[in-house]
Structures are given as structure tokens and as C-alpha cells.
Structure 1
């Protein structure tokens, strides 16, 4: 954060406020970790805080300190709307456009509160009075740590806050292997461990609590993988019928797309997952090197994200979606095979 942002935030929070803290729809480890960490920090500063999620989040994150206090817009609709309407300040974390919160968007658009954005995705919208945006950060959790540090409050980071921030950094960096992981990221993680973050327990709770049905679903996904050697590309499909067959629960497909990138020479990996209720195929894009899946998702699939990790959607059938996707690849053959 720069000096002006810190000064503006200190002024905004100079007296006790009613603060709503919002992650994106289908929140992941970074979204849940950052919102819970910020909520606990601001509560220590004397504010009345509440994390309000657009919908439910994966079971493997529900152990996190404070996760049981999150209000779910789909399940606690009246309470969520009331808190947003009465909030003095709304922090939006790990997203930068109201389009990322689903049906909650209307509430945010009509809110009288002042908005603060903390996010590391590209091309932020301009809705916030304070926008802390840094696409070079590994995660929004790393940004929350930096925010707390900039406010002069590192001493307020306790074990619960450290566990939340560690979880978000770990998950959003692919256990510290992605390119956005810097030496500063590791220094922050070291301090979080000094503050009590239990790295071994966090890894086990996030990655080692699979159900048999999730592993069977992974087997189905890998069996469905198609490799397009000509374009150094691999894609996976999962239909609603396949999800239902293996008792899909929210979060079960987390990380599946990354298996494509474990293949030798593959530079572009994609997964298409049907959501029959919404009438779409949700798409996750991953890449290595300089190939921007953010631009690819924005240009063709109503999405966006980071250079090497992005999301999108398609309202076409699976066959039409795949045909369209494959038809785009010749335009990028040089970039994918260089």
C-alpha cells in the first residue's frame, strides 16, 4: 500500500464502524482466508465486522477460525441484506468487479457504504473509494498481511489470523510453486509460522481430507482428459451427470485443472465443468510461461483473472463449447509451441 492509501484507510477507520467483508462467489482458500483474517484484525481494532459470502464454500475450509460465523447470502438472505444495507464500510476481497458475486451484486450496487477493494486480479473496476490492487502479489491473503503491516499492526496478528493468511497464500500459490511466489512471500510465511501458523496441520486439513467419491471423480476427470499435442494443450470435461454419479460436493473439483500442466510439454490446461442449475459450463484456464489465459478468458469466455490462471463460462452445449475452444487454438499455436 502507498502512503496515500494507508492515510485514507486510517482516516476511514478512525472511529468504530459496521463493516461487511465480502469474498467472491464460490470462494476458495484465498477468499475465505483473507476475509476471515481481515475480519479478525478489524474486530481487534474495535469494529463490528461480518463476513458475508455469496454462497457456500468447500468443506475442506470449514475448519478455519471463524468460518462457522460466515453468513451465506443464499442461506441467510435477509440477515445478509440487512447487514449490507446498514454497513458503514464494505471491504471486497479477492475480486474486483460486482459481477463476481452473483445475485449479491444488486445489494452491493445499492449499498450506501464506502467500499474498500483489496485484490490481486487484473483490470479492477472503479467502485471503491480505496482500491488496493496489486497483480504482482501471490494472493489476496499476502495483501491482507501487507495491509496490516502498513497500518502498523503486525503485533495484532495472532495464531488465528496467521492460520487464515497462511491458508490463502498456500492455496493460491499451489503450495508455493507458482510464479507469483516471491522471496517476500516466503518471508511473510516464515513470520506467520512464528506467529503460530501450523503449516503441517493446514496442509493436512486442506489437501488430505478427500472422500472416496472425490478421488473417483478425479479418476473420471483424468479419464476424460484430451491432449492436443499440436497446441501443447490439454483439456478435461465433467458433465453434470458425472458430477452427480460421484456425489459431487462444492470444492471437489478444486485443483483438477492443474493435472494437465503436469504433462510434459503441456503449456495450456483447461477444465469444462457443467452446472445444470445455472445453465452454463464453468471453465478454468491455467498456463505456464507468458501465455495469458486472462486475455484468452476475457476475449472469448466472459471471464478473466491472472496471466496464468483465469476463469470463464459458456452457455453453449458441451460439444459446441469444445468445438469453439479448439477452433481458437490455431490463432495461438505460435505462442503455445514457441
Structure 2
């Protein structure tokens, strides 16, 4: 974070503010962890702060300290709108384009509040007056830890905040295995544990509370996996019918795409998930090495993200989308071999 923006933020927060903290739609562990950690910090500093999420978070994140205080824009619409309308400061965490908040975007665009962006994705837009954008960071949660430090308050990180930050770092790094996990990430995690973060318990709550239907859905996904050895690529499809058959709940497909990368010789993994309600296919891309799924998603599937992890979407059928996707692979064959 550059000095000008840091000083502006310090000045902004020097007096009590009405703060709205916003994660992206379909929030994951990093989005919920970072917003909750910042919410705890703001409340402890005497601000009137609230979190407004575009929609619900997965069940496996609802144990997090303060999660029951998050306003769901879909279910608590009047209260959520009032909170955003009254805010004089709006923090947006773990996204960098207002389009990532779905139906909330128009409300945010109309707000006269001062926007503060904290995010680690590529190619940020310019809606925020104060920006802390760093694509080298493992997670937005790691950035929140550093932000609190830059504000001179690292010693005010409580056990509740430490648990929230640890959760986001752990989930966004694939339990510390992704390339963005640096030695500094581990130093941050060590400090969080010294401040009370319960690593083993957090891992259990996130990864060891599956329902039988989720494991059956995973079995279906793995059965659907197609391996294209020539292109070092594996992809999975899940239709709406299959989701319904296995009683899909929000968050159930989290991490499924990564199974493709556990195969020897696979450098590119994709999952296509049908969403009849929204009329789209939701797509997740993962890679290892230098192949940029961010560039691939932006160019071909109206998406983006990180070099090795990105998302996109298609309005075509599964069959037509797969046909288009596979037609693209020959032009990337050389990149996918490395």
C-alpha cells in the first residue's frame, strides 16, 4: 500500500465512521475471513461497522466468529440497503470490480461513501479512492493482517480476528500448497497462531464436516472427469440434474476443480457447473506453472482472477461450451506442456 493511500486511510479512520464491509458474491473462506477480521477490528476501534454480503455463505464457514452478524442482501434486503445507504466508508474485500457483487452493484455505484479496496486479484478497476492492491499476496486475509499492521495495530489482533484471518489464508492457499504461499505467509500464520488461531480446529471445521450427499456429488464429478493427455488438461462437468440428484448445497463443489491437478502430467484443470436459475455455466480454472488461467478466462470466458486460479462463465449449453473450450486448446498446446 503506497504511503499516500495509507495516510489517507489513517485520516479517514481517525474519527468514528459508519462503515459497510462488502465481500464478493458467493463468498469463499478468504472473502468471509477478511470481512469478519476487518469488522472485528473496526468495531474494536469504535466504528459503527456492518458486513453486507450479496448472498449467503457456505455452511462450513458459518462457525466463524461474527458470521451470524453478516447481513444477507438477498434475505435482509431492507436492512442491507439501509446499511449501505448510511455508510460514509465502504470497504470492498477480495474483489476489484463492482460487477462481482451481483445485484448490489447499482447500489454501490450510487453511493457517495469513500471506497477502500483491499484485494489481491489482477487488473483492478478504479472505483476506490483508497486502494491496497497486491497480486503477489496469497490472500486478501493476509493483506488484512498487513493492513492492520500498517495502521499500527497488529498487537490489537484478537483470537477471533486471528481465527478469521487464518481461515482465509488457509483456504485461499489450498492449505498452504499454492505458489503464492511465501515464507512471509508462514510468518503471518505463525503470528496468528501465537495470537490464538486454532489451526487444527479450523482445518477440521472447513474440510472434515462433509455431508454424505457432498461426497456422492464428488464421486459423480470424478466419474465425469475427462482427461486430454495431449493438452495436459482435465475437465469436469456437473449438470443441474446431477446437482439436484445429490442435494447440492452452496459450497458443495468447493475444491472439486483441484482434483484434476493431482493427476500426473496435468497442468490445466477446469470444472463446468450448470446453474439453471442464473442461466449460465459457472467455470473454475486452475493451473500449475506459468500457464495463466487469468488470461485464458479473460480472453475466452468473461472472467479472470489469478495466474493459476480464475473463474469465468458461459451462457451456452454444457455441450456447446465444452466444444468451444476444447477447440481453444490447440493454440495453447505449447504453453500447457511446460
Q: Same fold judged by TM-score > 0.5? A: yes
Q: Partner residue of 1:208? A: 208
Q: Distance in 1 between matches of 2:280 and 2:97?
A: 20
Q: Distance in 2 between matches of 1:2 and 1:214?
A: 44
TM-score by length of 2: 0.99
Shift of 1:2: 2.7
Aligned pairs (5 A) from 1:167-246? 167-246=167-246
SS at match of 1:92: strand
Q: Distance in 2 between matches of 1:215 and 1:48?
A: 41
Q: Distance in 2 between matches of 1:49 and 1:170?
A: 25
Q: Partner residue of 2:14? A: 14
Q: Partner residue of 1:146? A: 146
Aligned positions, number: 338
Q: Partner residue of 1:270? A: 270
Could you report, residue by residue, the CA deviation over 1:15-74 in whole angstroms, capped at 9, with x for unpaired residues?
100000000000000000000000000111110000100001100000000000000000
Q: Partner residue of 1:69? A: 69
TM-score by length of 1: 0.99
Q: Distance in 1 between matches of 2:68 and 2:84?
A: 19
* Residue 247 of structure 2 corresponds to residue 251 of structure 1: no
Shift of 1:4: 1.8
Q: Partner residue of 1:111? A: 111
Q: Partner residue of 1:324? A: 324
Shift of 1:14: 1.2
**Residue ranges of structure 2 left out of the alignment (5+ in a row):** none
Q: Distance in 2 between matches of 1:51 and 1:85?
A: 13
Q: Distance in 2 between matches of 1:159 and 1:45?
A: 16
Q: Distance in 2 between matches of 1:190 and 1:282?
A: 35
Q: Distance in 1 between matches of 2:99 and 2:321?
A: 22
Could you report, residue by residue, the CA deviation over 1:116-155 in whole angstroms, capped at 9, with x for unpaired residues?
0000000000000101000000000000000000000011
Shift of 1:112: 1.2
Shift of 1:5: 2.0
Q: Distance in 2 between matches of 1:131 and 1:180?
A: 20
Q: Distance in 1 between matches of 2:325 and 2:100?
A: 23
Q: Distance in 1 between matches of 2:301 and 2:102?
A: 17
Q: Partner residue of 1:56? A: 56
Q: Distance in 1 between matches of 2:227 and 2:159?
A: 44
Shift of 1:6: 1.6
Q: Distance in 1 between matches of 2:109 and 2:155?
A: 35
Q: Distance in 1 between matches of 2:305 and 2:6?
A: 26
Shift of 1:186: 0.2
Q: Distance in 2 between matches of 1:325 and 1:99?
A: 24
Q: Distance in 2 between matches of 1:3 and 1:132?
A: 11
Could you report, residue by residue, the CA deviation over 1:188-234 in whole angstroms, capped at 9, with x for unpaired residues?
00000000000010000000000000000000000000000010000
Aligned pairs (5 A) from 1:18-167? 18-167=18-167
Q: Distance in 1 between matches of 2:175 and 2:337?
A: 27
Moved over 3 A (4+): none
Q: Distance in 2 between matches of 1:147 and 1:154?
A: 9
SS at match of 1:7: helix
